[in-house]
Amino acid sequence: MNQIQILARFAESFMNPPKWEAILKQSAKAMDMLLAGNGAGSEYLGWVNLPSGITNEELVRIEKTAERIRNQSEYLVVVGIGGSYLGARAVIESVCNPFDSYRTEKSKTKILYAGHHLDPDYHRDLLDFLAEKEFSVNVISKSGTTTEPAVAFRLLIDLLEKKYGKDGTKSRVIATTDSTKGALKKFSDEYGFETYVIPDDVGGRYSVLTPVGLIPIAVSGANIRALVSGAQAMQKVLTEEKDPSKNLACRYASLRNTLYLTGKKIEILVNYNPALHFVAEWWKQLYGESEGKGKKGIFPASVDLTTDLHSMGQYLQDGERTIFETVIRVETTKRDIELTARDGDVDGLNYLAGKSLSWVGSKATLGTLVAHTDGSVPCIEIVIPKLDEENIGALLYFFEFACGVSGYILGVNPFDQPGVEDYKNNMFALLGKKGYEDRKDDIEKKI
């Protein structure tokens, strides 16, 4: 695997050198805290050494489960919310063919998603669609009581039992949950589902390299061994390089936090590859949930370019200057297309004859970087060699490690999410869940 690069050529002019040097030193201390496990949230650092700890036996078991699902089902419905599905979806949509419903040559099973919202139309349409299809379910929840996935799973298991009976349903559900406790664990044991464990020391948004992500990724036909190999290589690179100016994660964390100190409060993750859309969605959860605490933190947003240049482009170029961009740039394409000349040149494109579409795209990327920098938007570049499992595994682990470093620089616990519980508790109260009666009275006074 070629090295991922962090380039700051379109951000350097916006940097305050003394602040940059100070933040770099802080990043080294933050990295030491992460590796020593003596910072806030240290009980959730299992992901740091996770790639190197994945065994062949674990991968073999996951591959066998995936093969069984592919042999019996046209569709796998992944039931989860947040980190319980975003990591898997990010990988699957990065490396699979979008014009075959994210199938690969290795798999005829399509991946569908449920439990990531409460829209009745979506779930009704999904149930109607699956009624005459062969399908299985991978339900992912630590507790089994998170409302969105719990509701979706109840709907799906009702359909499974109607189609296959209880015995047939048993072989069509894989539960990824707690090792010993929780409603889903209890239900799975009673029913006899195959179960996989969500490690106690790995939070949901850091869980893509656990069975949470690896099972659906394997079912899709993507190469989980290459994915893990890329993450292992990046783990080695980041944990062995102690110079923060050379460490990729420290550089990225320091760049974004230095820009934050200069008033750049919003980071926009930019991609020029539609396949990276859900990498951005995963990244937004990772950074938003990890850093948005104590009334501080960089707000993570994303755009898909060049598409969004024709909708968000005006604001990016000329709106309020509180933003900076992090651009994911892919060096090589899987299959390129050469443009040809046409008689008459009606569309005026003959000047591009003989040029590849990737070459045209690269000039659009560079032109945009220069325009946005001229418009006072700093741009960080993350360059990856190509879109494949190995490089995506490296990229995801890089973002995780950099997030831990960045959170410690910011002075927050990057591994909890206390604010998320507020909406859940209010929702439980309004739904009439037992034990939330007092909260319901308080809420009803405000609405």
Catalytic residues: 289, 310, 424
In sequence order, the 6+-apart residues with CB closer than 8 A to the CB of 152 are 79, 114, 115, 123
Q: Which amino acid is at 259?
A: L
Tokens of 11: 């951000």
Angstrom distances, CA of residue 223 to CA of 11, 92, 219, 318: 35, 10, 10, 42
Give the position of tokens 């990856």: 384
| Listed residue (401, 389, 392) closest to 237, CA to CA | 401
Contact 113, 278 (CB under 8 A): no
Tokens of 302: 């994303």
Question: Computed from CA positions of residues 391, 54, 208, 403, in that sequence, does the dihedral angle turn out positive or negative?
Answer: negative
Q: Which amino acid is at 130?
A: L
